[in-house]
A = this chain, B = another copy of it.
Amino acid sequence: MLNFDYYTPTRVVFGRNTEAETGKLIREQKCQKVLVHYGSGSVVRSGLLERIYASLKAEGIQYVSLGGVVPNPRLSKVREGIALGQKEGVDFILAVGGGSVIDSAKAIGYGMTNEGDVWDFYAKKRTAKACLPVGAVLTIAAAGSEMSNSSVITNEDGLIKRGYSSNYSRCRFAVLNPELTYTLPDYQTQSGCVDIMMHTLERYLNHGTNMEITDGISEALLRTVIKNAQLLKKEPENYEARAEVMWAGSLSHNGLTGCGTDGGDFASHQLEHELSGMFDVTHGAGLSAVWGSWARYVYKERPDRFANLAVRVLRVSKKDSEEATALAGIEAMEDFFRSIGMPVTLRELKVEPTKEQILKLAEKCSFGNTRTIGVVKKLGREDMAAIYRMAKG
């Protein structure tokens, strides 16, 4: 196994009615004035925002609000948040929503504490030296941004979706109340479950060595999400199932499932980022639509790890060869995705890219043929195009 650095300072306050503690949690951070950042009207309609405002008022904390964050959050909204935050002199950003809102909040945090253009960090031109404190009240279990060091933003100029990771942006706290996810449409719930699984799969399917304990934790997490995603299909207001998925979402991307590994593959994520940058699809659905094609393209490099996934997570019986077991596992995973209504091809995703669009996707994903992605198998521009073509269905 490899050396690793594990750092998850986010305080998690998990369970029913925990959003009422938001004001107290910000007070403990010794912050005075908050930018409350959110997305659509659902947090307004549900009354959640009002409950949070009440909790801030109870602690004497001032606040300003900025809503309107969209899925695949936009750089323009980030710039709006930076300007507002600076004008109002806020010292804390509270994200109320899912991964898009938290990612946008982190980007605002970078922009408020570093000189120059915030996009530079996402364009990998500079590294951030700080981030304004950020906290989260989570309403969608999916991205894991509430405990991760990641943030992904889309620049409308060219529809370029890029991520930036830094420990400075780790949330000071995350309020996780599973009840807040009851009203999510099924498609969003299941897309979230795919995203959660992928954060672990990307690390589990790697090309280096692993720790047994990391593998065991990852397998337990994947089995838990598979079971509870299927349960939520039938019972969206099952508290226990919502809670299992929500906690899995945070653990899946906080670093735990990568300890001792080579850091993971993440090619499926990169391939999907271009898809949702160009076609604005839901991230989790985009992931399930490309994963199987990616897996078939690379599994012969590490049939052992794909076979472990098949047997230990998907309960596939061992076949005559490791490769056959691995392949049966990929099929079983696609069967699972279908069972929860998730696409396993681009056609099922309702995206039908032209030949030219596929070349454009691969061109963008390879940064103009200047980078490879993945570690199970290093993928260049032509590999990426091949996988997009395989994924068409």
| Of the residues B18, B223, B256, contact of A216 by C-beta under 8 Å | B223
Could you tell me the distance between the alpha carbons of A260 and B16 in the complex, rounded to whole angstroms?
A: 12
Chain-B contact segment, one of A2-10, A67-75, A110-118, A334-342: A2-10
Could you tell me the distance between the alpha carbons of A227 and B213 in the complex, rounded to whole angstroms?
A: 11
Question: From residue 202 to 231 of chain A, which have CB atoms closer than 8 A to chain B?
Answer: 211-213, 215-217, 219-221, 223-224, 227-228
Decide: A213 and B248 in contact? CB cutoff 8 A. Answer: yes
Oligomeric state, in number of copies? Answer: 2
Give the residues in chain B near A211, CB-CB below 8 Å. Answer: 240, 243-244, 247
CB distance from A3 to the nearest CB of B (A): 3
Question: From residue 1 to 30 of chain A, which have CB atoms closer than 8 A to chain B?
Answer: 1-9, 11-16, 18
Nearest residue, chain B, Cβ from A248: B213
CB distance from A315 to the nearest CB of B (A): 14
Nearest residue, chain B, Cβ from A7: B11
Nearest residue, chain B, Cβ from A16: B3
| Of the residues B5, B221, B247, B251, contact of A13 by C-beta under 8 Å | B5
Give the residues in chain B near A3, CB-CB below 8 Å. Answer: 14-16, 18
Could you tell me the distance between the alpha carbons of A119 and B15 in the complex, rounded to whole angstroms?
A: 34
Could you tell me the distance between the alpha carbons of A339 and B138 in the complex, rounded to whole angstroms?
A: 47
CB distance from A112 to the nearest CB of B (A): 22
Chain A 175-215 interface 0/1 with B at a Cβ cutoff of 8 Å (1 = within): 00000000000000000000000000000000000011101
CB distance from A133 to the nearest CB of B (A): 14
Quick check: is A101 within 8 A (CB to CB) of the other chain? Answer: no
CB distance from A217 to the nearest CB of B (A): 5
Nearest residue, chain B, Cβ from A243: B1
Could you tell me the distance between the alpha carbons of A216 and B221 in the complex, rounded to whole angstroms?
A: 7
Nearest residue, chain B, Cβ from A4: B14
Decide: A220 and B227 in contact? CB cutoff 8 A. Answer: no
Quick check: is A259 within 8 A (CB to CB) of the other chain? Answer: yes
Question: From residue 221 to 272 of chain A, which have CB atoms closer than 8 A to chain B?
Answer: 221, 223-224, 227-228, 240, 243-244, 247-248, 251, 256, 259-260
CB distance from A99 to the nearest CB of B (A): 19
Could you tell me the distance between the alpha carbons of A48 and B371 in the complex, rounded to whole angstroms?
A: 42
| Of the residues B5, B12, B243, B256, contact of A14 by C-beta under 8 Å | B5
Give the residues in chain B near A14, CB-CB below 8 Å. Answer: 3-6, 259-260
Give the residues in chain B near A12, CB-CB below 8 Å. Answer: 4-7
CB distance from A14 to the nearest CB of B (A): 5
Known contacts A14-B259, A213-B251; A8 and B5 CB within 8 A of each other: no
Chain A 145-175 interface 0/1 with B at a Cβ cutoff of 8 Å (1 = within): 0000000000000000000000000000000
Where the two chains meet, the residues of A that have a C-beta atom closer than 8 Å to any C-beta of B are 1-9, 11-16, 18, 211-213, 215-217, 219-221, 223-224, 227-228, 240, 243-244, 247-248, 251, 256, 259-260
11 contacts between A and B (CB under 8 A): A5-B11, A8-B9, A9-B11, A211-B244, A212-B244, A213-B220, A213-B248, A216-B224, A217-B217, A219-B220, A243-B260
